[in-house]
Amino acid sequence: MIYLQLFFSFLQIGLFSFGGGYAAMPLIQGQIVTAHKWLSMAEFTDLITISQMTPGPIAVNSATFVGIKIAGIPGAIIATAGCILPSCLIVTLIAKFYLKYRNMDVLQGVLATLRPAVVAMIASAGISILVTAFWGNDAVITFIGTNWIMVAIFIVCFILLQKGKLNPIVVMLLAGVMKLAAAMIGA
């Protein structure tokens, strides 16, 4: 039964995660945190972090991680298969039709219409993760309850990425070093 739940949960994620990995985060969160409670919000945040540090799409890495956690190696294989099956089928069909009809105004209009929805999905996932990072699992946003070390690390990383144009991997490593240094000095 758990194998079917894993397969169909990640099949839904794979089927409806238009816009790539970041757009899939609210869908992943809805399935694994809210609907099935396979992970807590803190574990979900850790999952996103791990998915960013490993090669491959977030959805596929999430499927593999959750599958292993819930049902071992067979669970990882089944969840990952559920996640990638829709993409394999849809991309094959879309490639065939896109190559044939790519110059049609209707197709270009549909693609342009989907862009704002994708941006909204990415922003929603980012805000959820930001709230968890700054205020913990309770998500009660108070000035006193704010983790100011995490806010400072976020600001430094944001500046390094946007203004300094540093490689994201380097910024992630620096963020880890900053958090480690803060922990060592007792902050």
Per-residue pLDDT tens digits for 92-120 = 998 898 888 778 888 888 888 888 988 89
From 43-52, 107-116, 130-139, the region with the lowest mean pLDDT: 130-139
Mean pLDDT of 79-90: 92
d(CA 42, CA 138): 10
Structure tokens at 178: 């900053």
Residue with tokens 């819930």: 70
CB half-sphere exposure, 144, CA atoms < 13 A: 0
Q: Examine the domain organization and report whether 164 and 184 are in the same domain.
A: yes
Winning range, highest mean pLDDT, from 30-34, 72-76, 100-104, 129-133: 72-76
In the prediction, which pLDDT does 138 show? 67
Reported as a pLDDT band with limits 50, 70 and 90, residue 151 is very high
Q: Examine the domain organization and report whether 20 and 99 are in the same domain.
A: yes
Q: Examine the domain organization and report whether 111 and 151 are in the same domain.
A: no
Residue with tokens 């757009």: 23
Residue 23, amino acid: A
CA 3 to chain centre: 22
From 11-25, 49-63, 79-93, 154-168, the region with the lowest mean pLDDT: 11-25
Mean pLDDT of 31-58: 89
Which range of residues forms the domain containing residue 179?
Answer: 147-187
When divided into structural domains, the chain yields a total of 2
Reported as a pLDDT band with limits 50, 70 and 90, residue 181 is very high
Q: Examine the domain organization and report whether 159 and 132 are in the same domain.
A: no
The mean pLDDT of the chain is 89
Q: Examine the domain organization and report whether 37 and 122 are in the same domain.
A: yes
Q: Examine the domain organization and report whether 19 and 66 are in the same domain.
A: yes
In the prediction, which pLDDT does 187 show? 66
Q: Examine the domain organization and report whether 152 and 66 are in the same domain.
A: no
Q: Examine the domain organization and report whether 82 and 130 are in the same domain.
A: yes
Q: Examine the domain organization and report whether 126 and 151 are in the same domain.
A: no
Q: Examine the domain organization and report whether 113 and 155 are in the same domain.
A: no
Q: Examine the domain organization and report whether 29 and 102 are in the same domain.
A: yes
From 16-20, 28-32, 72-76, 83-87, the region with the lowest mean pLDDT: 16-20
d(CA 104, CA 107): 6
In the prediction, which pLDDT does 81 show? 96
d(CA 20, CA 101): 23
Q: Examine the domain organization and report whether 126 and 168 are in the same domain.
A: no
